[in-house]
Structure 1
């Protein structure tokens, strides 16, 4: 995001654009990222491209290759399994704490994320729906009110946003979020833990089904 003054350094703008394109699937896994070509495409010098690629390597979305190019990371089944295990533990804790500690203002933010997702899903806008779904999860972490959990979320954010985007049934995911929202609003800890566990399982199955689909 740009700073409050509106100025966004070129390297941050390029990083954000490439990150979004990778998470949204515009740049497919294994796609080449060549400094010279990206600089021409995005209308910048090679330095912000180099800085952006380094940042995306640290976020786990890009793999460097020799000399001046890289590739969009191809997540192996073991990478996805590792991410999924972490997500399962992380989200169960985040939803439980959010149900215990949520505030009225935080709940309003969560409702706004949910409404954005439901609207986008209803319109069949996959990019907007998946982004809103990821925003929903990040707001839940903020509502958990645990600084260490927030720090871990920032470290994992890009990979988690990628993982959360690996589903095609937009409305089913939005409806699960609606049930989770209600449980958080009601401070129903037992219900939210049950729903969070089921939600992770749904996401796991959806991602597996997507990987098994033949590519065009």
Structure 2
């Protein structure tokens, strides 16, 4: 593997590239739950040695995307309902915190960035561009976390970001999602932290219902 200058790419950069590529394939559905990952085949496909592939697999296992069923069998993990419910519990708590802090700290420039993300999402929604919508939704929430300005919050969210992005991509009610983001923006722009927290929590709860219904259609709702 070489850079454009013809020099070998550092192992750390290669490992990150391979990890990011495999994660992206999972998030976009090119690799689906139950699909097997074979080190040799992936190394040939990506033009790298098996070492960065092996390390990327370990990293993605830690992130919750892969399951090691035996020393020679690694598959894309099928999230159980309890996994999804727990992720949404954590997401509701952390995004509520982020929105409240953002309401207290947002500058006019910060709000302009959120507006631009919403404008771009509106155009993608009109086009029906699901891939673009998913990316802009991630951008919108990332901006809120950045505005919140809490380093520990960002650190806690980092290992969850991929799975949270995957959950968000399951919601294809794009017009409704855009409306929810607009309400969340308005709550943050108001400067009212409690209103922003409430709006964020409601947004997550609605997204939870849609995602669970999509992923587990036909299952009885677990109560209690």
* TM-score, normalization by structure 2: 0.85
Does 2:87 correspond to 1:83?
yes
Does 2:122 correspond to 1:115?
no
Once the two structures are TM-superposed, the CA of residue 27 in structure 1 deviates from its matched residue by 1.3
Pairing 1:38-117 to 2, within 5 Å after superposition: 38-117=42-121
Matched with 1:184 is 188
Q: In the alignment, which of 138, 149, 155 is matched to residue 151 of structure 1?
A: 155
Aligned residues: 208
More divergent stretch after superposition (188-197 vs 42-51)? 188-197
- Which protein is bigger by CA-based radius of gyration? 2
Pairing 1:176-215 to 2, within 5 Å after superposition: 176-213=180-217
Gaps of 5+ in 1: 1-6
Structure 1 distance, partners of 2:61, 2:53, is 12
Q: Secondary structure at the match of 1:64?
A: strand
Once the two structures are TM-superposed, the CA of residue 152 in structure 1 deviates from its matched residue by 0.6
Once the two structures are TM-superposed, the CA of residue 174 in structure 1 deviates from its matched residue by 1.5
Contact 1:176 / 1:199 at 8 angstroms: preserved in 2? Answer: yes
Once the two structures are TM-superposed, the CA of residue 112 in structure 1 deviates from its matched residue by 2.8
Once the two structures are TM-superposed, the CA of residue 213 in structure 1 deviates from its matched residue by 4.7
Contact 1:168 / 1:210 at 8 angstroms: preserved in 2? Answer: no
Structure 2 distance, partners of 1:42, 1:201, is 39
Structure 2 distance, partners of 1:112, 1:30, is 38
Structure 2 distance, partners of 1:113, 1:50, is 36
* TM-score, normalization by structure 1: 0.88
Q: Secondary structure at the match of 1:168?
A: coil
Contact 1:95 / 1:196 at 8 angstroms: preserved in 2? Answer: yes
CA RMSD after TM alignment: 1.9
Contact 1:29 / 1:74 at 8 angstroms: preserved in 2? Answer: yes
CA deviation map 1:95-119 (0-9, x unaligned): 1111111123322332232233222
